[in-house]
Structures are given as structure tokens and as C-alpha cells.
Amino acid sequence: MTNRTAIIASNGGIFDAYKVFNIATAAAASEHEVAIFFTFEGLNLIHREASQQLPLPEGKEHFAEGFRQANVPAIPELIGMAQELGVQFIACQMTMDVMGLAETDFVDGISVGGAVTFLEFAKEADVTLTF
Amino acid sequence: MKADHYLDAIGLSCPMPIVKTRNAMKEAETGEILEVKTTDKGAKADLTAWAKSGGHELLEQTEDEGVFTFFIRKG
């Protein structure tokens, strides 16, 4: 039986992006069925422009060098890889309405849904994570 | 040990070695052996766990000057 991993991404910094996409791609590479629900600041992680230059936390800007040295893949690369591996991206409709965002503001291949869309997926999940 | 497939994941960091291993393993037939080379210290535990969860057999694991080599038989 396939394992299922359900992730909520609710923060929009670069650290958050790595936490979310690394776990998601690792789970998908281990043949898990994976969905991520992006809500509030988490929407930054799949925003067409914002995802290209996510901020480091205040006072942690010096870690930019560490990312370069560790040869960590860039976030757009991880997004592409996650999608190739079949990770589903669900953008929260309510947050989009609040922030005035449209589906076209996000990377291709996402779906838009509400809390119930995610819960339907998550109720059968073996692993549930919130970032 | 002789491998049927070879993956160079040297210099890549998490989660790339696992993702690339997964993709390389997709190309292999059951029973074939994949050789993976990586410098990611985390991959030592990760590849072992990945092989186990996917029903593959980790045949051999060695380290030489910071390069980890894995031989995994596809299950």
C-alpha cells in the first residue's frame, strides 16, 4: 500500500520553503503520495515571483553563504522536482481572496481548494506535517 | 562489486541524492544493481532507510576520503 504524506505550509521564508520542499520531495522519492496545502504566508512558496527570492529570517542573512557552500538546490528547482515527482500543490482559496491573489499568480500545475479539500486528503495520511 | 547502473551524486545535498537515486532506480530492472556515489553525509543514513522502505537491498556501503559508495539491488 502506498504511504501518504500531508503537509501544511503556512510560513513564507526561505527556511520554511526548504523544510516543506525537502520533506515533500524526499517523501515523494520514497513513493509516498504527497499533497501540500499552502495557506497564508505559505502561499509565497509557490508564488511565481516571490518564490524566486524568498527572504532569510531577520538577523540570519549570513546563512545565504551557507546555502551557496552546501550546494543546496534553489527553491524553483525544488518546486519543479516536487511536481515531477507528483507532489500536489493546493493553494488556499480563502487566503487568496484575502490577499487578492489569482491562480495565475502561482507556478503552473497547482490546484486551488479549501480546507476540506486538504482534509479529505489528510484524513487518510500516514504522515501529517505542519510548517 | 559490479553494478548495472551508476549514479554520480557527488557534491549534491539533501534531498538531491535521494531524488536522483529514486530516478535512477526507476530505470533499473528488478534484481539489477545500482551504484551510487555521494558526498552528502546525511545520505549515509538516508539511503539506507530509503532502500529499506522501498524493498531494495543495500548490498555494500563504503567510504573513501569523504565519498560514500552504495551498492543497492532493486527489489
> Into how many domains does chain A fold?
1
Q: Which of A22, A42, A17 lies closest to A82, judged by CA?
A: A22
- Contact present, A90 and A36 (Cβ < 8 Å): yes
Q: How far is it, in rounded angstroms, from Cα B55 to Cα B58?
A: 10
| Contacts A81 to B, Cβ<8 Å | 19
Q: Kindly tell me if the per-residue pLDDT of A1 is higher than 80.
A: no
Q: How far is it, in rounded angstroms, from Cα A51 to Cα A95?
A: 17
Smallest CA–CA separation between A102 and chain B, in Å? 30
Tell me, yes or no, if B12 comes closer than 8 A to chain A by beta carbon.
yes
Task: Select the residue of A30, A70, A73 nearest B54 (Cβ to Cβ).
Answer: A30
The DSSP code sequence of B6-33 is EEEETT--TTHHHHHHHHHHHHSPTT-E
**Global confidence as pTM:** 0.92
Task: Select the residue of B11, B12, B18 nearest A29 (Cβ to Cβ).
Answer: B18
Q: Which of A14, A7, A2, A1 lies closest to A82, judged by CA?
A: A7
pLDDT in tens, chain B (75 residues): 899 999 999 999 989 999 999 999 999 999 999 999 999 998 889 999 999 999 999 999 999 999 999 999 999
ipTM of the complex: 0.86
CATH number at residue A14: 3.40.1260.10
Give the domains, in start order, of chain B with CATH numbers: 5-73 (3.30.110.40)
Q: Which three cell numbers stand for residue B43?
A: 545520505
- Which residue in chain A has the smallest CA separation from B25? A29
- Contact present, A29 and A82 (Cβ < 8 Å): no
Q: How far is it, in rounded angstroms, from Cα A67 to Cα A24?
A: 19
* Catalytic residue annotation of B: 14
Tell me, yes or no, if B42 comes closer than 8 A to chain A by beta carbon.
no
